[in-house]
Chains A and B, each alone.
Chain A
Amino acid sequence: MKSTSNLAALMLGIAAAFAGTTIAKAGTVDHAAPDGPTDLRLTPQQSMLWKYTARCALRADQELEAPVGSTGEKLKFKGLLGLAPEWREGQCDGACQEKVSSCLAALTNQTGDHVQVSMLSAAPSLATMSANDNDLAYPFQEGAFFGNVFSGEAYVCRGRDAEKGEQLKRFCALAPGLCSGLAKFSGAGPCEQSCEMSCTPLSDGTSRCAAVSCRDPKGRVWNHPITTYMRNRIEAGNADTVTGAVSRDSGLERVKDGAQATYRHVDFGHVPGSIATVIANVSAPAGGGRIEVWLDGQRRLAVLAVRSTGGVARDLTAPLDSRDLSGQHDVVLRFKGLRADVRVADIGLR
């Protein structure tokens, strides 16, 4: 089950509510639009809480509608995952609260960046979240989230690929304390030790392992955990620094000739030279020019020729020279000779 995480925006909002200040940082604050409009009756932060609660609890055919606000705008919050659809018209019991809590915690992201994740569960109560071949593009196990945020508790165990979160800007499994906001986030140790795991084989020979149940540091058992897997693609819009382009949740937009984007902590794996290809999902109305991939801004690793994609998104690939390279490095994309503005949705190394 795929979703996009950026609940830090929600937590940002909470900060604003408490501090009485305005939060303004491009690309990190989700103003609950377009599928969660704001209203004077609800602060943007509270709207976001409603938006994500509805998204987790309700089915796609359900929604919530608030009274018309002073602007005449109708507030609607659409469902998506359907983990507790009964809450729309009834109470949310303990199991309901834990399922929604796991979802909200899994969608929390300290940076506020939008990151696509796959949300899986092997818990009997969350059977709709089992792995299948739609998860092939999500190979990295981040961790499992559980707790009850309505009573202030959130836990995350550390998955085997949690360190990949750095290049994707997902940090809650790496540093749980940074994600407190909805509730107090606490680490529960490695998932293999704190959770009972169940693995599902996929058609490519890999498997996805999700938690059946987990123990918090006090030894209490939680029966509705959600395990997240991450893509092997970096959201282009989450660049650490950008010049000559606009960072959006959808990617790097209006990329002009001469633009540059830096991505920190890009993981080249444990074995030197194991990365052979760079992939960029690009929309280009006209061909011409190139995207150069530089290591730490000092060594050119690859050159992607920009061909016309007719304005639709397509993967461009090129060989990448990763001799002697392993571990995390800063990668810089340099756009040269472009004839028209392009859009880059994501980039990947394999």
Chain B
Amino acid sequence: MKTQTKMVATKLATIGLALAALAAPARAGQLLPNGLNSVNGLNSVNGLNSVNGLSTVNGLNSVNGLISVNGLNSVNGLNSVNGLNSVNGLSTVNGLNSVNGLNSVNGLNSVNGLNSVNGLSTVNGLSTVNGLNSVNGLNAINGLCRPNTLCASNSVTTFIGIWTASGIDPSKPLATAIATRK
């Protein structure tokens, strides 16, 4: 475990990131970069537990075993993410190729160029998706609004409101309902 920690720390150091993180040595098997501003050219991250307050990630090739990401603003050029449990507050993702085993995403604003998503259970608050090639095993997307698809909340009252607004009422004859439509 000690060796592994050293190795990760070395990688971070080579890209000039370590600064705050190295000043407070991480415990074996854990690395908790908080308040980190940007990551560039990093090839892979393995066994990282959480990332908080990271602003941007560019050129990262893969992330494995990361449990949670909070407050990340944007990710560009990331190739794949495996085993990530949750993402909160992520604003945009561009060029991500595949995501496997991600459990939930909250507050993500947009995804561009994502090729495939497998095993994702729920997505909340996602605003736009462009160029997504395939989605498998996704259970639900709530609050998604995009030009060529629906935009409806998860609220049953909202669904019923759709019918109320249209004037279509099962308790009234259709001919009467359309004739009195105002």
In the complex, what distance in Å separates the CA atom of A58 from the CA atom of B154? 30
Cβ contacts under 8 Å, B156 to chain A:
151-152, 184
B-side contacts of A187, CB under 8 Å: 139
Distance between A244 CB and nearest chain B CB, rounded to angstroms? 21
Q: Is the CB of B165 within 8 A of A46?
A: yes
B148:A180 contact, CB within 8 angstroms: no
What chain A residues lie within 8 Å of B10 (beta carbons)? none
Alpha-carbon distance between A248 and B4 when the two chains are bound, in angstroms: 57
Smallest CB separation, B152 vs chain A (Å) = 5
Which chain A residue shows the least CB distance to B173? Answer: A89
Cross-chain contact A15 with B170 (CB below 8 angstroms): no
Known: A46-B165, A66-B181. A15 touches B152 (CB 8 A): yes
Q: Are B133 and A264 in contact (CB-based, < 8 A)?
A: yes
Q: Does A75 contact B (CB under 8 A)?
A: yes
Chain A residue nearest to B175 (CB atoms) is: A88
Instruction: Name the contact of B160 in the complex, choosing from A23, A89, A91, A151 (C-beta under 8 A).
Output: A151
A166 at the interface (CB under 8 A from B): yes
Q: Could you tell me if B160 and A152 are in contact, using CB atoms closer than 8 angstroms?
A: yes
Interface status of B101 (Cβ within 8 A of chain A) = no
Determine if A110 and B150 form an interchain contact, defined as CB atoms under 8 angstroms apart: yes
Inter-subunit contact B138/A25 (CB<8 Å): no
Q: By the criterion CB–CB under 8 Å, are B165 and A50 in contact? A: no
Instruction: Determine whether the beta carbon of A91 is less than 8 Å from that of B138.
Output: no
Per-position binary interface string of chain A over residues 56-99, scored 1 when its CB falls under 8 Å from any chain B CB and 0 otherwise: 01100000111100000001010000000001111111001100
Of chain A, the residue at the smallest CB distance from B135 is A175
A6-14, A118-126, A274-282: which lies at the interface: A6-14
Question: Could you tell me which residues of chain B, from 159 to 182, have a CB within 8 Å of some CB in chain A?
Answer: 159-160, 162-163, 165-168, 170-175, 178-179, 181-182
- Does B174 lie within 8 Å of A152, measured CB to CB? no
A-B contact list, 25 entries, CB within 8 Å: A8-B148, A8-B150, A12-B149, A14-B152, A15-B149, A19-B145, A23-B147, A28-B148, A41-B182, A42-B181, A46-B166, A46-B167, A64-B175, A65-B179, A66-B178, A66-B179, A88-B174, A90-B173, A149-B163, A152-B156, A174-B136, A181-B150, A182-B162, A184-B156, A265-B134
Known contacts A91-B171, A182-B162, A75 near B178 by CB under 8 Å: yes
Give the shortest distance, in Å, between B36 (CB) and chain A (any CB): 34
Known contacts: A17-B165, A88-B174, A184-B156. The answer to whether A166 contacts B134 by CB under 8 A is yes
- Determine if A112 is an interface residue (Cβ-Cβ < 8 Å): yes
Asked whether any CB of chain A lies closer than 8 Å to the CB of B151, the reply is yes
Is B170 a contact partner of A97 (Cβ separation < 8 A)?
yes
A12 cross-chain contacts in B, Cβ below 8 A: 147-151
